[in-house]
Structure 1
């Protein structure tokens, strides 16, 4: 009798093991909604379940333990998934571990807490939107990934220590209000923007907006140095580094701060203080819609030729850039912005170029390390809208669920989940 019971228990145990299974979310061309797939993975992590990021396996697929709840969530969000036996998943891991394969399996441990640096005011009269949208907040909302917002006061009060990942919304950190003066000086939203920023500067004890923004970029630099992850797009990339290089030297014309530019401003730039760029020249015409020659302008690239190629890194030796370049394509359609591309000549040698239009000698996607943390600069405004202008309606991402350009943003959002390190506060 005891022998029969032991055999029955063994058979039940074997049966339970054989039923153990894993949900695999493929991220190759078979995926129905690449963007929401990131949201599913974030949701799983947020439920205190670890996940795998299978680098270079079927477009950078995700995997986690099977449950009916996870399966229902995939169905609800329209994300393609496969339920596979654990034995098969272990076989996939063995295939990935083969030293001859340029793949790696990265364990994702904890959902990162996300902050978006963005103003809490609305510019356009009669509506609830600003005169431009922001790709990161659009894709976070579409992918159903939660985030909180911070702005200058919160940054200056050291609230960034509460977050794992920070996005710098479309911003001019030089204090020149985007250099929109010539085109929009009489627009109500522009006048309210200037008034709001000046009021915010005074509230925080600064005489000028440029001084306020310098205080902010220094706090962000400290955040990164202490182990934070910072992501910036469009004008928040080059204007951030320009503000660091200027370090209080007056580079703002009278239109923006009431007095003139320091005539020796160019020679006073300190490139050792910047994250990504060096040896650039400031744009001297204060009415030009450009901050410096970091932005590759004028470009000799037509819309039909505007593509950039993602570099192929060694997954096992260079997991960080490999994570950031996961995609179902290697060539991504370019898109414009106030800062559209980075001239190769001004990129520091220790900064990784992740995506480049080689014939045009311009980079579109950069990554680097500062202190214990990391930063990523992504040129352009909206990956799904080639020429997105002020006052254009926001992009409907349900029409672009497989956007390779938007996937690069979401790679950065999940990147901190693969790191478990203490940050200085």
Structure 2
């Protein structure tokens, strides 16, 4: 083989190598260019595990993966930057997902931004630190929310009166309230359960806790807790209340300067005419409600429409 033919062969090999390298580069660039987003749909026909999908969103935020909540789009779907870690976690947790190109994602966002659509895209930036207000000893299945959070694999911490009164709320971004009576009337369970061992035990424990925290009555201690939570929200904390916490919280705030608890709850009579002494400027959401004065009725006030709504 002559020198010239050897030279040509080397040049050809170099060209082939360069072509292969260029093909490889463009191939992988093409992959990343056409699979840049992960959509976690939340519509009932597509998503096979809705609770776990919320957990996936929390997981993404924990790992600094950019996320958007597409409100009213396919049930409130979530859009993420494509990451192998996230895709793998979706498969592990059994969460339905779709791979999108940038163009697909832009088309969705364009649809959402249309004035004719009742939709919105919200950027999610932080995995919130969550506190659930719940008595010590409660199991996850004692509270629908803790059960849902546990199943969804969303981390949370349980706090109660001692932590709240010691200003632990500043450590959390989000506070959840569920089965709680901030009026000190033990959930208005007196008629049905006053002789039940669990009711007697709960009342005894609540009174002991109030005394240990320096309060004469449970109603006074619960009011102090409600005021701390109010200040937490005013200071920028997020609170979600459901069940009895929803109305009893506002009732406690409105009744800050009057005693609405009957003797079987706190050992002394309620204030005469306490309905007229309520200060609705203190409440968060409800005004002009009428309190249920009868301790034998399982109801706090006219806020709850369960017995009246035609459903």
Report the TM-score range of the alignment, normalised by the length of the smaller protein.
0.7 to 0.9
Q: What TM-score results when the alignment is normalised by the length of structure 2? A: 0.88
Distance 1:69 1:297, change over 3 A: closer
Q: C-alpha separation between the residues in 1 aligned to 2:262 and 2:137? A: 25
Q: C-alpha separation between the residues in 2 aligned to 1:140 and 1:209? A: 29
Matched-pair contact (CA < 8 Å) for 1:211–1:248:
no
- Greater helix share, 1 or 2? 2
Say whether residues 1:79 and 2:95 are aligned partners. Answer: yes
Over aligned residues, Cα RMSD in angstroms? Answer: 2.3
Aligned to 1:287: 296
Say whether residues 1:45 and 2:57 are aligned partners. Answer: no
Equivalent residue in structure 1 for 2:175, among 163, 166, 169: 166
Equivalent residue in structure 2 for 1:226, among 223, 231, 235: 235
Distance 1:291 1:103, change over 3 A: closer
Larger Rg: 2
- Post-superposition shift, 1:90? 2.7
Q: C-alpha separation between the residues in 2 aligned to 1:9 and 1:228? A: 54
What are the equivalent positions in structure 2 for 1:119-198 lying under 5 Å apart? 119-121=135-137, 129=139, 133-198=142-207
Deviations 1:204-251 (A, max 9, x none): 111000000100111101000011110011110111000000004111
Q: C-alpha separation between the residues in 2 aligned to 1:109 and 1:271? A: 35
Equivalent residue in structure 2 for 1:240, among 241, 246, 249: 249
Distance 1:256 1:63, change over 3 A: same
Say whether residues 1:18 and 2:30 are aligned partners. Answer: yes
Higher RCO, Cα 8 Å, sep 6+: 1
Equivalent residue in structure 2 for 1:114, among 127, 130, 135: 130
Structure 2: unaligned runs, 5 residues or longer: 1-10
Q: C-alpha separation between the residues in 2 aligned to 1:10 and 1:56? A: 43
Point out the more displaced range, 202-211 or 75-84. 75-84
Equivalent residue in structure 2 for 1:88, among 94, 104, 116: 104
What are the equivalent positions in structure 2 for 1:293-312 lying under 5 Å apart? 293-296=302-305, 298-301=307-310, 306=311
Matched-pair contact (CA < 8 Å) for 1:19–1:85:
no
Give 3-state SS (helix, strand or coil) of 1:142's partner.
Answer: helix
Distance 1:178 1:221, change over 3 A: same
Q: C-alpha separation between the residues in 1 aligned to 2:66 and 2:30? A: 21
What are the equivalent positions in structure 2 for 1:226-375 lying under 5 Å apart? 226-296=235-305, 298-301=307-310, 306=311
Deviations 1:305-337 (A, max 9, x none): x3xxxxxxxxxxxxxxxxxxxxxxxxxxxxxxx
Matched-pair contact (CA < 8 Å) for 2:67–2:124:
yes
Distance 1:6 1:104, change over 3 A: farther
Q: What TM-score results when the alignment is normalised by the length of structure 1? A: 0.65
Structure 1: unaligned runs, 5 residues or longer: 123-128, 307-425
Aligned length: 295
Aligned to 2:6: none
- Post-superposition shift, 1:94? 2.9
- Post-superposition shift, 1:87? 3.1
Distance 1:158 1:66, change over 3 A: same
Give 3-state SS (helix, strand or coil) of 2:214's partner.
Answer: coil
